[in-house]
Every structure is written in structure tokens, then in C-alpha cells.
């Protein structure tokens, strides 16, 4: 009887293998339209940007289809228009540094304000959480430009802040807050704060608050509870929120353009300037790829960090 079953087993196995291949083929066919759209809509423009970065700039915009590395060398090096000597592109490096600095500060301040906000919402009764979350999400219903102009009205010379300080008597004349790095930082923190609150709250909601009560019963201080219980549990949400805030802050265009007044440029403004008034498309393309590389490095760090977290908890 054993021999009969052994002889009969190959046929069902072959049928199962045939069904598996058929299922895989069907899934591949179903994924094909989405993959084509993804390649054409996402990868296609990116390929053109990479190609443009290795071409020669046209006299009146556009490109000349002639290979050149001027676009890439101009990212960090500039050539004197009179004697042709090379020097460090201080303006570009200054904009790079301002972009990274303000993005990091925006991420830090968003965490400082977003973490207690998420904790407050997570500790409310369940029926009230939806209301608080709605208040966090409401700004997304308003156009980014309108929200940026709202911040402008608050910090301009005749705005709410200066008027209140002058009414109290703290200052005699308005403080120049608009068109400064402080204005850009304030606007970006206001715009991207919900992107920090949402993932931190999602992690905070899974926290077992009985652990906190147990820690207090064991005479743990508030700092010990925060450092050893709360932060380790919500760490994935903190990392995700930091990425969600840092990446768009690094490439921000509208907020620095409006609140910076065109004098405090960030990477997004510099790229737009090269494609517009500068008429140097290869340089703009090279700057775009450089920005993409910085974002990719941040994402790789996040993926590796998240991978270590999963292995550690596993």
C-alpha cells in the first residue's frame, strides 16, 4: 500500500505546482499596469533629470545635447566670469547648510511639541480622542499657501506678536521677525507638526499604560518612566515622524519663499531659481539629484534603524 501511495503522489504535486505557477502569473499580470504607471510617472521624469544634469546649459534656458560635467561641478564650485578661476560656491554651501539646519531644527521642535500632544491625546477617554485628532488634522484641509500667509500675518511688523508686545510695553518698536530664518522655522514647524503627531500617537495608542502605573508603584521617577518605558515603545513612531517631517522640510519651497522673502533661500528655492531666472537646467537637475541623495541617505538610516529595532524586539 505504501508503494501505491508513493506512485500516486506525483500527480497531485504536479497539479499543485501548476496551480501555483498559474496564480503567480495572474498576480504578475494584475501588477503590470500599476508597474507601468509607476515606471512612466515616477522613474521616467527622474531619468530625464539625471540625463539633463550631464548636458550643457543652453544660452536661453533648456539644454544642448552635449555631454558636460559643468552642472555637477557647479553644485560646489563656481567659475569667475572674468578670469575663469575656480572657487568654492559659498552661496550654494550656505543654502545647503541653511536647508539642513532648518530641517533638523524643524524636526526637533516638531518632536518637542508633538510628543506631549500625542501623549495627551492618547491618555484621553476613547470617545474624546477622535475629536482631538480631528483638531490636529483640520489644518490639512487648508491650502499650504493660505496657512503660510496666516503665519505671515502673525509675525509681521504689524502682526499679532509685535502688536501684543508693544501693547504690553515690552518693546517700543516692532521686531523684525518676518523674512528671517526664525520666520521660516516657525512656518515649517506649524505646517509639519501634524506629521509628527500622527505617527507618534499611533505608537502611543498601543502603549500599555498599566506598565506606567506599575513603574510608579516601584518608585520610578517621571524621567525613568519616560526614558525606560514610554520612549522605547513609541520609538518607531518617533523615527517615522522625524522622517515625515525632515524630508519635506528639506525640499520645502512655498514656506521659505513666502516667509523668507526671497533672501533666505533653501534647496527648493535654489532649484526653482536655476530652472527659472538662472536658466541653468543642468545645474538645477544636479541640485535636484543632490537633494534626492540627501533624502535617500535619511531613508536608509531610518530603514536600518527600524530593522535593528525589529531584530532587537524579535
Predicted pLDDT of residue 212: 86
Return phi, psi of residue 59, to 5°: -70, -30
* Count of structural domains, the chain: 2
Residue 16's pLDDT band, with cuts at 50, 70 and 90, is low
- Confidence at residue 199, expressed as pLDDT on a 0 to 100 scale: 94
Contact present, 196 and 111 (Cβ < 8 Å): yes
Has residue 262 been placed in a domain?
A: yes
Residue 58 lies in a domain: no
Phi-psi region of 62 (alpha: psi -120 to 50; beta: other; left: phi over 0): left
**Residue 144 shares a structural domain with residue 279:** yes
The answer to whether the CB of 236 falls within 8 A of the CB of 309 is yes
Same domain? 171 vs 283 = yes
Q: Tens digit of pLDDT for each residue in 83-106?
A: 778 888 888 999 999 999 999 999
Domain of 229?
Answer: 88-313
Q: How confident is the model at residue 140 (pLDDT cuts 50, 70, 90)?
A: confident
Q: Give the C-alpha separation, 277 to 258, whole Å.
A: 18
- Pairwise CA distance, residues 99 & 265, whole Å: 8
Q: Is the pLDDT assigned to residue 298 strictly greater than 50? A: yes
Same domain, 134 and 249: yes
pTM for this structure?
A: 0.83
Q: Locate 91 and state its grid cell.
A: 552661496
Flag whether pLDDT at 175 surpasses 70.
yes
Same domain, 32 and 94: no
Identify the pLDDT of residue 302. 75
**pLDDT bracket for residue 207 (50, 70, 90):** confident
Res 2 pLDDT > 50: no
Give the residue carrying C-alpha cell 523668507.
260
Q: Which of 161, 184, 12, 18 is nearest to 105 (CA)?
A: 184
Residue 123 sits in the same domain as residue 201? yes
34-38, 90-94, 185-189, 216-220: which is most confident = 185-189
Say whether both 245 and 197 belong to one domain: yes
Segment 149-169, tens digit of pLDDT:
999 999 999 999 999 999 998
Per-chain mean pLDDT for the chain: 86
In a domain, residue 81? The reply is no
Least confident of 2-16, 24-38, 48-62, 86-100: 2-16
Q: Does the residue 70 lie in any domain?
A: no
Examine residue 102 and state whether it is found in any structural domain, yes or no: yes
Statement to judge: residues 128 and 229 lie in one domain: yes
Answer whether residue 4 shows pLDDT above 50: no
The half-sphere exposure of 47 on its side-chain side, counting CA atoms within 13 A, is 7
| 77 within a domain of the structure (yes/no) | no
Q: What is the pLDDT of residues 256-288, one digit of tens each?
A: 999 998 888 999 999 999 998 888 999 999 999
Q: Tell me, yes or no, whether 165 and 270 share the same domain.
A: yes
Q: pLDDT for 59-73, tens place per residue?
A: 888 899 999 998 999
Give the pLDDT score at 211: 86
pLDDT score of 222: 87
8 part of a folded domain = yes
Considering the domain architecture, whether residues 49 and 161 belong to the same structural domain is answered as no
Angstrom distance (rounded) from CA 179 to CA 263: 7
User: Quick one: 27 and 141 in the same domain?
Assistant: no
CATH number of the domain enclosing 146: 1.10.3720.10
Residue 307 confidence class, pLDDT cut points 50, 70, 90: low
Q: Are residues 102 and 200 in the same domain?
A: yes
Same domain? For 251 and 170 the reply is yes
Cell of 2: 505504501
Nearest of 48, 81, 44, 41 to residue 65 by alpha carbon: 48
Amino acid at each position: 500500500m505504501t508503494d501505491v501511495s508513493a506512485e500516486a503522489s506525483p500527480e497531485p504535486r504536479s497539479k499543485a505546482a501548476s496551480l501555483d505557477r498559474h496564480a503567480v502569473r495572474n498576480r504578475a499580470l494584475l501588477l503590470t499596469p500599476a508597474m507601468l504607471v509607476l515606471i512612466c510617472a515616477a522613474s521616467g521624469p527622474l531619468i530625464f533629470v539625471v540625463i539633463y544634469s550631464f548636458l550643457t546649459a543652453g544660452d536661453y534656458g533648456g539644454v544642448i545635447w552635449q555631454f558636460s560635467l559643468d552642472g555637477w561641478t557647479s553644485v560646489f564650485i563656481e567659475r569667475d566670469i572674468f578670469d575663469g578661476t575656480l572657487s568654492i560656491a559659498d552661496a550654494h554651501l550656505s543654502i545647503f547648510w541653511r536647508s539642513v539646519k532648518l530641517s533638523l531644527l524643524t524636526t526637533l521642535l516638531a518632536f518637542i511639541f508633538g510628543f506631549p500632544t500625542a501623549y495627551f491625546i492618547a491618555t484621553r477617554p476613547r470617545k474624546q480622542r477622535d475629536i482631538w485628532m480631528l483638531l490636529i488634522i483640520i489644518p490639512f484641509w487648508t491650502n499650504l499657501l493660505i496657512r503660510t500667509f496666516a503665519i505671515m500675518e502673525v509675525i509681521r511688523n504689524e502682526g499679532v506678536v509685535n502688536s501684543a508686545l508693544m501693547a504690553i510695553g515690552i518693546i517700543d518698536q516692532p521686531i523684525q521677525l518676518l523674512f528671517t530664518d526664525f520666520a521660516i522655522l516657525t512656518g515649517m514647524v506649524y505646517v509639519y507638526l501634524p506629521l509628527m503627531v500622527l505617527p507618534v500617537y499611533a505608537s502611543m495608542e498601543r502603549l500599555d499604560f498599566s506598565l506606567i502605573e506599575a513603574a510608579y508603584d516601584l518608585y520610578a521617577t517621571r524621567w525613568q518612566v519616560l526614558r525606560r518605558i514610554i520612549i522605547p515603545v513609541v520609538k518607531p513612531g518617533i523615527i517615522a515622524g522625524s522622517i515625515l517631517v525632515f524630508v519635506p522640510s528639506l525640499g520645502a519651497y512655498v514656506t521659505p519663499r513666502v516667509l523668507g522673502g526671497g533672501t533666505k533661500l533653501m534647496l527648493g528655492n535654489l532649484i526653482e531659481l536655476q530652472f527659472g531666472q538662472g536658466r541653468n537646467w543642468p545645474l538645477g537637475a544636479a541640485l535636484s539629484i543632490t537633494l534626492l541623495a540627501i533624502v535617500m541617505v535619511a531613508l536608509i538610516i531610518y530603514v536600518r534603524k527600524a530593522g535593528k529595532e525589529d531584530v532587537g524586539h524579535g
